Amino acid sequence: MSEEKKAPEAEVENTAAEATPAAETAKAPEKPAKKAAPAQEEFDWEAFETKGFGEGYNKKQREELASVYEETLTTIEEKRVVHGKVVSISDRDVVLNIGFKSDGLVSSSEFRDTPDLKVGDEVEVYIEEQENAQGQLVLSRRKAKIVRAWELIQDALENDKVIEGYVKRRTKGGLIVDVYGVESFLPGSQIDVKPIRDFDVFVGKKMEVKVVKINYANDNVVVSHKVLIEKDLEQQKAEILENLEKGQVLEGVIKNMTNFGVFIDLGGVDGLLHITDISWGRINDPAEVLSLDEKVNVVVLDFDDDKKRISLGMKQLTEHPWDKLEATVEVGSKVKGTIVNVADYGAFLELFPGVEGLIHVSEMSWSQHLRNPQDFISVGDELEAVVLTIDREERKMSLGIKQLTEDPWTKQDVLTKYGVGTNHTGIVRNLTNFGLFIELEEGIDGLVHVSDLSWTKKIKHPSEFVKVGDELEVQVLELDIDNRRLALGHKQLEENPWDTFESVFTPGSTHKCSVISKNDKGATLELPYGIEGIATNKNLKKEDGSYAEVGETLDFVVVEFSKEDKRIVLSHVYTYAAPAEKLTKKKPTGGSAKAKAKLRNTGAEEVATLGDLDALSALKAEMEDNTKKANEKKAAAAKKKAEPKAEEASEEESKEESSEEEK
């Protein structure tokens, strides 16, 4: 007992030593604090009998008391959601007891959504800190709601649950929906099975949705209301497809409109109503007769094997307009209507909606030259036409408007008006390689061959002489009423100058000529009076050995003259290398000499134009009298027999001269 009594006394002394100030401890270094440690480790609580803590309790009893005390305290972890009981409520804070050693404070602003909160209510809170710098327990109801919301959202996604949200506002491409306090995105395409044009009607309303996607990296949630509707429509859709058949009449709502037709919702199944099946009449846009969200009755026209594409019709529910067409409308009868379409080949005249006839471009005018139909008529014109053909079974009709006027080829005065030899002025409508077409009046056209454009010029294409739209004077050469053909000529308006040229450009005669052009075979020369001749390359050689070039003017000798072929062959070589008399086939008559003398006196031989042809013709007529004509006919007949021999002799002489030149 004495030793046990001494132990507590030693402990008291140690305790007193610890309570001594640091200054006093420093004066007694011989008694360091480390020597007291063994005494503390050997302290016997069982022997502590002084009044104070643990008095009268043994070790077992103390353990029992400690366990009871620990059960009164709750072990908590930070960053967790727990339940707390409201202890008190003030304007600034709400005191909550979560079973910890101290109560926690939550700002009253976090309980604005629960105005009926009272003492004793249980709420969920989030433990931010067990003890802050002030030793207080830090709680948050707002964070607890967020954590709980994400847990519920995750559960809704995993278990395919339907949850309720509140549409807060509209955003680009959809809506923002509040789900358990978390803002989620509802795309516009996921609002309904049909396109939504006005999102604002959903703002401020509650809506059932399903979570379809969670992006944890950005804390984004995507929800859908459409999936709920689709599930409801699946059964209805299956019933419709199972009973679908051609000719069935269904009611639907116009879901979407395009320029080629409209899509109709038949109750979960979409069908296409093409623009041509909306009305028997012609329409350019479905919006002319239909509108979005309109309920319509349609008939099933066709569908594929999988019933994924359904063709619908609306006009088929009414009688076809052709069935209402009066029996009096037949070939030859006149009808009235409105032009509804103009194409390259013609125009369509609508008698009434659903009944149209084609006016071909060839039936718009008596003119043989087809033009653009828009030159005659345009859309919206109201006019009268004649029925040319009609097929009620095929529901086709061809019309004409030129038949309302008299055919110009059947007029009584056409024979006298366009008799052979008559002169007219027309408009050039078309050019071809072989000639040009001239319209004398509407429906009366004629052809001018390229060879009938000029007496003197060799024209390869009509575009060298005239262009489309020009006015041109012509003379009727031939008239064929049965085939509606006119042969016209322009050069016939003047006398043929080749009758006069025959006496001017006699073989062997010399004339001033200009080289117009050259090629591999020879050159084209311009003679007096504007006519053209030709010369081979070897006949272009000059006396000094050089050759005539384009633009040079030299003397040329006529080698050959053909009035029938309108051809004159010339040579410059013969002006210095061979006598011109050898080329003379016949001696010029006195009249011809007088004509040449007349031309020399007037200075027209070297500088003459087509304007001088009238003077030549008058001079020739003056020289030839009736007696001389008779004598010439006899001489021509006799000469015709001897001419082949003379020509052969002339050719032989030419060959001999050419061989001599080569030598």
Question: Which residues does the chain have with pLDDT short of 50?
Answer: 1-40, 49-51, 585-624, 626-627, 630, 638, 641-663
Please say whether the beta carbons of 425 and 444 come within 8 A.
no
Q: Which residues contact 124 (CB under 8 A, 6 or more apart)?
A: 81, 82, 83, 84, 141, 144, 145, 148
Q: Which residues contact 71 (CB under 8 A, 6 or more apart)?
A: none
Q: In this predicted structure, what is the pLDDT of residue 398?
A: 92
- Distance of alpha carbon 240 from alpha carbon 81, whole angstroms: 51
- Distance of alpha carbon 528 from alpha carbon 501, whole angstroms: 10
Both structure tokens of 366: 């008596």
Q: Which fold has domain 498-623?
A: OB fold (Dihydrolipoamide Acetyltransferase, E2P) (2.40.50)
Burial class of residue 385 in the structure, from the number of CB atoms within 10 Å of its CB (0-12 exposed, 13-18 middle, 19+ buried): buried
- Distance of alpha carbon 106 from alpha carbon 101, whole angstroms: 17
End-to-end Cα spacing for the chain: 176
Both structure tokens of 128: 């931010």
Q: In this predicted structure, what is the pLDDT of residue 131?
A: 67
The string over 46-63, giving b where at least 16 C-beta atoms fall within 10 Å of a residue's C-beta and e elsewhere, is: eebeeeeeeeeeeeeeee
Q: In this predicted structure, what is the pLDDT of residue 44?
A: 55
- DSSP assignment of 340-358, as one string? EEE-SSEEEEEEETTEEEE
User: Which DSSP category does 547 fall into?
Assistant: B
The residue with tokens 């040329």 is 556
* CATH architecture for residues 81-145: Beta Barrel (2.40)
Distances (CA, A) of 11 to 1, 8, 215: 16, 5, 65
Q: In this predicted structure, what is the pLDDT of residue 614?
A: 47
- Distance of alpha carbon 454 from alpha carbon 72, whole angstroms: 132
The torsion region of residue 639 among left (phi > 0), alpha (psi -120 to 50) and beta comes to: alpha
The residue with tokens 């995993």 is 158
C-alpha torsion angle, residues 364, 368, 370, 373 (rounded to 10): -10
In the chain, list all ranges with CATH 2.40.50.140.
81-145, 160-229, 244-317, 321-404, 408-493, 498-623
Pairing of strands 206-215, 553-562: unpaired
The residue with tokens 């008399």 is 581
CATH superfamily, with its number, for domain 321-404 = Nucleic acid-binding proteins (2.40.50.140)
The values of phi and psi at residue 520, to 5°, are -65, -30
**Domain 160-229, CATH:** 2.40.50.140
Q: In this predicted structure, what is the pLDDT of residue 662?
A: 45
- Distance of alpha carbon 88 from alpha carbon 83, whole angstroms: 15
Could you tell me the sign of the dihedral formed by the alpha carbons of 478, 480, 481, 484, in that order? negative
Please say whether the beta carbons of 62 and 72 come within 8 A.
no
Q: In this predicted structure, what is the pLDDT of residue 118?
A: 77
pLDDT digits (tens, 9 = 90+) for 591-614: 444 444 444 443 333 334 433 444
CATH number belonging to the domain at 244-317, selected among 2.40.50.140, 1.10.420.10, 3.20.20.70, 3.40.50.1980: 2.40.50.140
pLDDT digits (tens, 9 = 90+) for 396-408: 899 998 888 887 8
Both structure tokens of 627: 């007696």
- Class at the top of the CATH hierarchy for domain 408-493: mainly beta
Planar angle of CA 540, 542, 548, nearest 5 degrees: 50
Please say whether the beta carbons of 127 and 139 come within 8 A.
yes
The string over 17-39, giving b where at least 16 C-beta atoms fall within 10 Å of a residue's C-beta and e elsewhere, is: eeeeeeeeeeeeeeeeeeebeee
Cα 273–chain centre separation: 24
- Number of helices (H), then strands (E), belonging to the chain: the values are 11, 30
Q: In this predicted structure, what is the pLDDT of residue 298?
A: 92
Both structure tokens of 444: 């009366």
Radius of gyration for the chain, computed over Cα atoms and rounded to the nearest angstrom: 60
Q: Which residues contact 308 (CB under 8 A, 6 or more apart)?
A: none
Q: Which residues contact 588 (CB under 8 A, 6 or more apart)?
A: 503, 506, 596
- Distance of alpha carbon 314 from alpha carbon 536, whole angstroms: 81
Q: In this predicted structure, what is the pLDDT of residue 33?
A: 44
